[in-house]
Amino acid sequence: MTEFVKNAAGRLIPTHINDKEVVPFQGVGKYRPQGRKYAPPIKTVADYPEDGDKRVASLKDALIKAGLKDGMTISTHHHFRNGDILANQIFDIAAEMGVKDLVWYPSASFPCHEHLIQYLESGVIHHIEGSMNGPLGRFASQGKMRGQGVLRSHGGRYQAVQDGDVHIDIAIIAAPCADPFGNANGLYGDAACGLLGFALADSEYADQVVVVTDNMVPFPCIPWQIQGNNVDITVEVDKIGIPEKIVSGTTKVTKSPDRLLIAEMTAQFCDEAGLIKEGFSFQAGAGGTSLSIGIYFGEIMRKKGIKARFARGGSNQYLVKMFEEGLVEHILDGQTFDLEGVRSMRENPAHVNTSPFTSYNYHGKGNFASLIDIVILGATEVDTNFNANVVTHSDGYLLHGIGGWQNCLFGKTVILPIPLFRDRIPVIVDEVTTLCGPGDLIDVIVTERGIAVNPKRKDLLEKLKDSELPIKTIEELKAEAEEICGKPQKPEFDDEVIAAIKWVDGTVIDVVRKIKE
């Protein structure tokens, strides 16, 4: 029988996930890891070709040479987003070879990976340790995956590999440009995606590293975002991704009057709070509301005659325009969302590719998430204690990944611009369905009907005390939503745990349970 313990957030979590003992969440900054970093196997130059050509004839040959067998952990990456085709091909080959009980360790999954449900059903894949967006999440929520999912932030994923919590047997790195030795980047080729930072830990720590490209160039492939010295095998294939789907995500400014109002109020709040000033820094995502906030920031900066020291990307055409106009000195890019972002990274030395190691890894000697002045994020739910949820909906289904969301909570001022309700369902609730981020780290909630400031941010409340903005308590916002929509019915769950939510330090902050059909 599964044993449960209550963690520091008051959530009941199992003592074991996939038969591995877990550490319960102990509070922000409370857990101190012990020991040393995991180390990959020692290799010798004597086992690799003197001419530096590590190519094999096909992806299947690469998997055979890498020693694919039952029970291994296979990692892939989401630089190609919904245009990825390689992950599906890997498990097609594994099924053909009769391999079973694999663990898939993606940095994220997308609807294009619905193809893999057949292998979860047949036993080729045992479980997924990575975000499960859309169909895969729904499949897991229905209790159909044999193992339990594990969801980590981007930084948490790097931390898990570095610390040895996850041992990658074979890492498959799809690269838009590579040489036969294994040096690779995402800047050139039909499938150019900008950067390959999510694959960095895999290239450094996996037992076997395979680089797959449809754009093989002569040595050296410059710049090398992945170093060939960390690569065992290279493969040239016809196609690694669908270009028109690689550049995905919401990269258009919202046209919704409510969302535009939220964006304008967010920018005005930041201005009145004194956050937009010479040399400040900010991060905003690629959603329609976030893009609009960035544009409003630009208008304020032009009016004040100031510039930002850096912006943390996801980069897109709007951020690049601000950068090339001189409003932003540097882009520290974690994920490139459109072709303008790819072009800028290729052409501008101050548009720098980064990885979860530099910006998000909590088990390091500091990272620059805490250096960002303004962080703009989203959420599916927020409760009256400012706790937030980004992985499940109000119906309890697991439909989203964490991404870098948790890691960004360590910014100096974290703002969630969210609608007061979606589809007539209030977004502010008594208690979030799934706890992904503690309210201690969330400072401001901006909705179309008012702004709630976390009471612990007395400095912000003082600066806005004479503002004409609609400053309200979070309880007032919740009551207003319920007056319009009614109080939502909570989803019903079975006792079965289908996934664990890891906090940035590798502890378990919450779990997702099977939906009661």
Mean pLDDT of the chain: 94
| Sign of the CA dihedral running 329, 332, 337, 338 | positive
Give a three-class secondary structure readout of 79-144. CCHHHECHHHHHHHHHHHHCCCCEEEEECCCCHHHHHHHHHHHHCCEEEECCCCCCHHHHHHHCCC
Whole-model pTM: value is 0.95
Confidence band, pLDDT 50/70/90 cuts, at residue 489 = confident
Residue 76 has what DSSP assignment? E
Note whether 126 and 102 are within 8 A (CB): yes
Confidence bin at 248 (pLDDT 50/70/90):
low
Q: Is 263 left (phi over 0), alpha (psi -120 to 50) or beta?
A: alpha
Smallest Cα–Cα separation from 17: which of 120, 147, 143?
147
Q: Binning pLDDT at 50, 70 and 90, where does residue 250 land?
A: low
Q: Is the pLDDT of residue 249 over 70?
A: no
Query: What pLDDT shows up at residue 502?
Result: 98
pLDDT band at 494 (very low <50, low <70, confident <90, very high): very high
Pairwise CA distance, residues 272 & 289, whole Å: 20
The residues near 283 (Cβ < 8 Å, ≥ 6 apart) are 311, 312, 313, 372, 374, 375, 376, 408, 411
At 338 the pLDDT is 85
Give dist(CA 10, CA 1) in Å, integer.
21
DSSP code of 176?
S
